[in-house]
Amino acid sequence: MAYVLLIVGFALLIKGADLFVDGASSIAGLLRIPPLLVGLTIVAFGTSSPEATVSIIAAVEGSSGVSLGNVIGSNIFNITLVIGITAFLNPLKVESETIRKEIPFTLLASFTLLVLISDISLQSMDENLITRSDGIIFLLFFSIFMYYIFEVARNDRNQSSADEITKKGTWGKSIFYTIIGLAAIIFGGDFVVKSSTEIAYSFGLNETLVGLTIVAIGTSLPELVTSVTAAVKKQSEIALGNIVGSNIFNILFVLGTASVISPLIVDGKVFIDVMLMIMITILLLVFSRTQYRVGKTEGMILAVVYIAYLIFIILRN
């Protein structure tokens, strides 16, 4: 039965992503805001719903390894394999605002995570924890990011002309596609995660490894399918904005909410994973500055990095 759910989940993800990108692109035009901002908000939050659901449920059930590993593993998967495959299919255009503000904000969130999990090193505590206070700090940073996004959206909308939205479709159709697509993505991701986790546990894999691999990959499939679909449809701003927005959402909102509900115990092994997450974010920033795009060669490099990382954590555990 798990294998059947896995196939059904993939089918829902693929079709849902196709509808979701169409609907989100239309909404961008109807709201007179750039597709990048839709990628950073509607698309990013929608495709991060599986991460939020899995991590919050895991926190409630006391599975800190799954909750934290899911977020870190998903972010690494997003930056390396998702952007890598997407850029290889169609080079990704990078907006100057993404280079100057969004990617640096992702770095800030990642460094904040590193600092807040270093309780033993920085505060001489007995164990590393993401406490409820840490969760509130994450949520405050998330509020700042959302304020920035809405300010940019408001300014861009005011600068747009009404003529630009006449060929973008109707509200009813756009909202219908977006809701149906999002529902398919969420249900598809849920099916894939549950079935993949069941299959993984049947092979005797431990909780941390499951969180960093099976669950992380499963919850990141919406980002992968949505970004690839967006790239194929020449909507590269949505593709990259989706990833950057998802990673910020994962760290600040998902971990923030999960740790406020229940403090998360940090496995010492994840420090290597967090450091890698920071390094590949810096690498993405460097790649993005080359002619304001991520090309095929750079996409291949990112994809290879993930394959090497996957081999490393499997051997490590």
- Whether 131 has a pLDDT exceeding 90, the answer reads yes
Percentage of residues in the chain having pLDDT higher than 70: 89
Sequence-separated (6 or more) residues with CB below 8 Å from residue 123: none
At 130, which helix (H) or strand (E)? strand 129-130
| Placement of tokens 């394999």 in the chain | 81
pLDDT digits (tens, 9 = 90+) for 87-104: 998 888 887 777 888 899
With a cut of 60, say whether residue 234 has pLDDT above it.
yes
212-230 CB burial, b ≥16 within 10 A, e <16: bbbbbbbbbbbbbbbbbbb
**In terms of pTM, does the model score above 0.85?**
no
Give the containing element (helix H, strand E) for 268.
none
Domain-by-domain residue ranges, the chain?
2-159+171-316
Euclidean distance between the first and the last CA atom of the chain, given in angstroms as a whole number: 28
Looking at every residue in the chain, the average pLDDT score rounds to 84
- Segment (H or E) for 93: strand 92-93
What is the torsional sign of CA 199, 202, 203, 207? positive
Q: How far apart are CA 229 and CA 223, in angstroms?
A: 10
pLDDT of residue 220: 84
Q: Which superfamily does CATH assign the domain made up of 2-159+171-316 to?
A: NCX, central ion-binding region (1.20.1420.30)
Residue 264 backbone dihedrals phi, psi, to 5 degrees? -105, 125
Contact 92, 293 (CB under 8 A): yes
pLDDT score of 240: 78
The whole-angstrom separation of Cα 234 and Cα 231 is: 5
Chain segment 18-63, per-residue pLDDT in tens: 788 788 778 777 777 766 666 667 766 777 777 787 788 778 777 7
